[in-house]
Structure 1
């Protein structure tokens, strides 16, 4: 039975019980004390219910301070009014003005103590949770970095890139040198991914351009790449290597499986207070199929969840019979 009682109700019951017993010991047990204690439980619980309905945890610090003041005044006033009306009209107890004033002051003091403890508890709890999330995120970024090296920039990609470069050495030495630089940039970025939680969209896009430039050598006219990038999004922060992961997924499971190749379109736009990134490619996405999509898509969902919680989303779908669309929505940082 006791296991199903929440921490809140344990604190509520024990706190008000302690108040009742201390006052009963100092003064005496009376209807006055009993009514005041019961009204205290009622008023604090009612206002707690109201602020939970308002989802106060999402408020800014300024709004939370304002909320603290108003619920302090509101719960203290409600406590006193209910206490006074019950004594006056139910128990027919007409107290002296001095006692009424004393109870009014007590009501506000108790409300101040109760809400101060309540807000401090939730502040400490949220701070602790944020630190745990931060540590989890750091551990995940490092783990994803290792997986990125092993799975995303896999030996097959490096092998294909080196073969393409080797073929260019004699026929187009200048392009071969450029390709080596592009491959170097990609490797350097993947190795540096664990050092930061986010990078600018511009930096991420440069890595994708290098990656696609190398893939264009291999696919030639079978790969057509287009960009639709809002300049205002270039300074926005995104998870490192996320865009590259999704673009490689489009090449590996879309373009490479199509005899005539196809198109890849990368878009980046502002959508209200969110940053929307979409990658469209020729092909078809098969839900739950064992086609190798798993790691790239799951790592994208995991990183977005750890960085932004439910403020970000990721979805992949067949836009029509020819096109697959991967769509990321993130809050603006």
Structure 2
């Protein structure tokens, strides 16, 4: 009802008709009871009705032209000023109807008629002040609701833009490393380079198809990561060994941020295997119980000065925060010459229905 009052002029005037019409009937009943419903009392009540209808229209225009002040004291002052002006308009209208026609309506001319009319000003002012309070309250609530809606839409648009930016960072980052790997193979082994291009094509096809997705099935993330690992094995050969440890019988129902596991493995290969002449073992652990844990362990040390490492880690952290807020956790730790990158997602946030 509140929104309806403010939405269209026809609804507004229908509400005024109901409110002031009821007041007119009440006034007619009370005054007519003592005067046996003379014509003068009927005209008096009707002129009150017309004056209040016009006064409420004046008030509406008054508030619309000036807007609604956010300050409570100024809002109260605005309501008092508007009601005072509208009450004066109502008194003038009633006076123009009744004063010149006293003898016809009431059978006599009273010298106190003007004073009696002015004495009714406080009552009319009180009616219109209550009307103003309700009107301004409804208008304020509607404005707040609209502001909250716009704020929510802006936040959603901002989050979508941030996610778009983060996802756009991943593909160039991945392609740069892969192309460099293939370039190094071209002169050494053209067959391996050709195989690498085929692997790269498959990986890019999948990533480009899911670029706009926030979440996708864990099974697809695993397949993408395996293709990425095969692409790197063509370069690192025996230096790169991967051990998959999947502790779950129903990984099909889990959803993860796209490219999340792949990026962990990419960092592990680049900063763990790539920095070691002997290479090493990368362990990928996937544990799915009440929560989902994705952990990638590689030999090496955390290099805080590495900008590329920090870019990947920051990307993961920002994406998790945008998607899950405090329902996801990321950690990067080092122990006994091993670096562990771990993502933990709560079941309610990443399980498919």
| 5+ long unaligned stretches in structure 1 | 1-7, 29-98, 170-175
Q: Residue 101 of structure 2 aligns with which residue?
A: none
Q: From the superposition, tell whether residues 271 and 188 of structure 1 become closer, same or farther in structure 2 (CA, over 3 Å).
A: same
Deviates further, 118-127 or 156-165:
156-165
**TM-score (ref. length: structure 2):** 0.54
Q: Secondary structure at the match of 2:211?
A: helix
Pairwise CA distance, 1:160: 4.6
Q: From the superposition, tell whether residues 259 and 248 of structure 1 become closer, same or farther in structure 2 (CA, over 3 Å).
A: same
Q: Secondary structure at the match of 2:320?
A: helix
1:146 correspondence with 2:172:
yes
Indicate if the aligned counterparts of 2:294 and 2:344 stay in contact, CA closer than 8 A.
yes
Indicate if the aligned counterparts of 2:245 and 2:283 stay in contact, CA closer than 8 A.
yes
Indicate if the aligned counterparts of 1:229 and 1:266 stay in contact, CA closer than 8 A.
no
Tell me which of 137, 150, 156 is aligned to 1:130: 156
Aligned-partner Cα distance in 2 for 1:106–1:270: 60
Tell me which of 201, 205, 209 is aligned to 1:188: 205
Aligned-partner Cα distance in 2 for 1:141–1:161: 29
Indicate if the aligned counterparts of 1:233 and 1:269 stay in contact, CA closer than 8 A.
no
Pairwise CA distance, 1:326: 0.8
1:253 correspondence with 2:279:
no
Q: Secondary structure at the match of 1:284?
A: coil
Q: From the superposition, tell whether residues 142 and 16 of structure 1 become closer, same or farther in structure 2 (CA, over 3 Å).
A: farther
Aligned-partner Cα distance in 1 for 2:69–2:276: 62
**TM-score (ref. length: structure 1):** 0.57
Aligned-partner Cα distance in 2 for 1:163–1:241: 30
Indicate if the aligned counterparts of 1:314 and 1:328 stay in contact, CA closer than 8 A.
yes
Deviates further, 111-120 or 322-331:
111-120
Q: Secondary structure at the match of 1:194?
A: coil
Aligned-partner Cα distance in 2 for 1:203–1:20: 66
Structure-to-structure mapping, 1:287-302, within 5 angstroms:
288-290=304-306, 292-302=308-318
1:276 correspondence with 2:293:
yes
Larger radius of gyration: 2
Structure-to-structure mapping, 1:161-310, within 5 angstroms:
166=191, 182-217=199-234, 218-220=236-238, 223-270=241-288, 272=290, 275-286=292-303, 288-290=304-306, 292-310=308-326
Q: From the superposition, tell whether residues 205 and 133 of structure 1 become closer, same or farther in structure 2 (CA, over 3 Å).
A: same
Tell me which of 81, 104, 107 is aligned to 1:21: 81
Aligned-partner Cα distance in 1 for 2:170–2:142: 41
Q: Residue 33 of structure 1 aligns with which residue?
A: none
| 5+ long unaligned stretches in structure 2 | 1-67, 89-125
Q: Secondary structure at the match of 2:282?
A: strand
Aligned-partner Cα distance in 2 for 1:10–1:252: 56
Indicate if the aligned counterparts of 1:255 and 1:262 stay in contact, CA closer than 8 A.
yes
Give CA-to-partner distance per residue, 1:242-270, whole Å, 9 cap, x none.
Answer: 32121011112112333543322223344
Indicate if the aligned counterparts of 1:284 and 1:322 stay in contact, CA closer than 8 A.
yes
1:155 correspondence with 2:172:
no
Aligned-partner Cα distance in 2 for 1:13–1:164: 81
Q: How many residues in Structure 1 have an aligned counterpart in Structure 2? A: 243
Aligned-partner Cα distance in 2 for 1:193–1:260: 35
Structure-to-structure mapping, 1:28-177, within 5 angstroms:
114-150=140-176, 152-156=177-181, 159-160=184-185, 166=191
Q: From the superposition, tell whether residues 332 and 306 of structure 1 become closer, same or farther in structure 2 (CA, over 3 Å).
A: same
Aligned-partner Cα distance in 2 for 1:275–1:162: 43
Give CA-to-partner distance per residue, 1:189-229, whole Å, 9 cap, x none.
Answer: 34435343333211111011122234345332652422224
Stretches of 4+ moved more than 6 A in 1? Answer: 105-112
Indicate if the aligned counterparts of 1:148 and 1:190 stay in contact, CA closer than 8 A.
no
Aligned-partner Cα distance in 2 for 1:153–1:11: 60
Aligned-partner Cα distance in 1 for 2:315–2:182: 19
